[in-house]
């Protein structure tokens, strides 16, 4: 077994509605509470970061599965939506919906198209972030394959 360690440094200089910073090996940004939750809305926020982690994990996992299956694509793009409930001051991350658009190579066989259809679902179950969220946040994929 190989363990990988990822590090993040955070600085929060004030109280609830202040602006902090985070820094990783490849990311440096400001963070605050989003406007939708009565914060200043500067930089990113935990809700966007969780959505970003889930989305990038999913799309990278899908691309790797397509490659391993020998399925050529012309493009793979995606939009993801995070559904967060904010009621009576309680924040609950309810759902993440990935909406990948996979454009296959023109000469893709019907068999490979069927495999691609299965992979857009399987990638969600295989993604490390989705597995970490399982039981707490519903994660789905609504793919368009062309």
Helix, strand, coil abundance in the chain, percent, nearest 5: 35, 35, 35
pLDDT of residue 13: 94
Whole-model pTM above 0.85?
A: yes
Distance CA(27)–CA(111), nearest Å, equals: 40
Of 6, 41, 48, 5, which is closest to residue 23 (Cα–Cα)? 6
Q: Tokens 């970490």 — which residue? A: 132
Tell me the per-residue pLDDT of 4-61, one tens digit each, with 9 for 90 and over: 999 999 999 999 999 999 999 999 999 999 998 889 999 999 999 999 999 999 999 9
pLDDT for the residue 38: 85
Is the pLDDT at 132 greater than 90, yes or no?
Answer: yes
- Return the pLDDT at 74: 96
The pLDDT value recorded for residue 88 is 86
Q: Which SS3 state, helix, strand or coil, does residue 17 take? A: coil
Give per-residue pLDDT as tens, 47-96: 999 999 999 999 999 999 999 999 999 999 999 999 999 888 788 999 99
List, in order, residues 6 or more apart from 105 with CB less than 8 Å away: 72, 73, 74
């Amino acid at each position: 077994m190989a363990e990988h360690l990822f590090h993040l440094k955070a600085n929060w200089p004030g109280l609830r509605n202040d602006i902090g910073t985070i820094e990783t090996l490849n990311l440096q940004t400001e963070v605050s509470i989003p406007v939708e939750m009565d914060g200043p809305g500067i930089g990113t926020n935990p809700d966007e970061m969780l959505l970003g982690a889930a989305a990038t994990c999913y799309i990278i996992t899908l691309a790797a599965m397509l490659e391993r299956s020998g399925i050529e694509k012309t493009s793979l793009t995606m939009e993801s939506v995070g559904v967060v409930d904010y009621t009576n001051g309680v924040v609950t991350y309810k759902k993440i919906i990935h909406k990948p658009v996979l454009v296959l190579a023109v000469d893709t066989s019907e068999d490979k198209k069927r495999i691609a259809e299965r992979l857009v679902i399987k990638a969600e179950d295989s993604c490390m972030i989705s597995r970490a969220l399982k039981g707490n946040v519903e994660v789905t994929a609504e793919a368009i394959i062309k």
